[in-house]
Structure 1
Amino acid sequence: MTDIDGIDPSVPPSGSGCASCDAVGGWWFHLRRCAQCGNVGCCDSSPAKHATAHFRETGHPLVQSFEPGEEWYWNYATSELFEAGPELAAPVSHPADQPAPGPAGRVPDDWAKVLRA
């Protein structure tokens, strides 16, 4: 099951948070990890939607949740959810003490209102 197009289980994640958000001092709701290159991006409920942007820029179709305790995959190309798949290189989630939304100190007090806007 490790020879699936779009999945490279040997590639580690790019970091513990969305690198694109980190570069501009942004924040995220939840994180997604590209199963092909390891890029960690923020989810579509996040203000910047960097995981989807990564798919559009690279064509890498599969992401796995980068949230503790979640193993599901999403295929952007087919809009399919998979409850599980190959185990990717560690770590498989952001640190458990990193809050969601996160990172700590950058999330606005009215974050829920911001996400509904």
Structure 2
Amino acid sequence: MTCQHLKEAGEPAPRTAYEDGCPQCVAGGLHDWVHLRECLSCGLVACCDSSPRRHMSAHHDETGHPVMRSYEPGETWRWCFEDELLG
């Protein structure tokens, strides 16, 4: 099962800028992020919901961007916040 958001999500941007951690956490002097995620609407990279500050979910709440993907090496899955579906 999939949703329209997952169908319409663009291709992931090349991984370049944030391989050293969640930029919001690092900017705050924090290094306890767990995994990274990438917004497929704007390319923002942020930490996952297993991280204390859950920056990717906060990004979705602020912008309404519906789909993110794992930014972890070897992982290609996507998540639609709106429909709560894995794709």
Given candidates 57, 67, 72, the residue that maps to 2:62 is 57
Identity among equivalent positions (%) equals 46
CA contact (8 A) 1:11 1:36 kept: no
Corresponding residue of 1:15: 18
Given candidates 36, 41, 44, the residue that maps to 1:36 is 41
Give the CA RMSD over aligned residues. 1.8
TM, length-normalised to structure 1: 0.60
**Superposed displacement of residue 19, structure 1:** 1.4
Runs of at least 4 residues off by over 6 Å: none
**Superposed displacement of residue 15, structure 1:** 2.4
The residue correspondences of 1:1-117 to structure 2 (distance < 5 A) are: 4=8, 7-9=9-11, 11-12=13-14, 15-16=18-19, 17-27=21-31, 28-82=33-87
**Superposed displacement of residue 9, structure 1:** 2.6
How many pairs align? 78
Give the partner amino acid of 2:54.
Answer: K
- Note the residue ranges of structure 1 that are not aligned, 5 or more in a row: 83-117
CA contact (8 A) 1:12 1:38 kept: no
Structure with bigger gyration radius: 1
- Note the residue ranges of structure 2 that are not aligned, 5 or more in a row: 1-6
CA contact (8 A) 2:38 2:46 kept: yes
CA contact (8 A) 2:24 2:55 kept: yes
Within 2, Cα distance between the matches of 1:58 and 1:47? 20
- CA distance change for structure 1 residues 65 and 78 in 2, over 3 Å: closer, same or farther? same
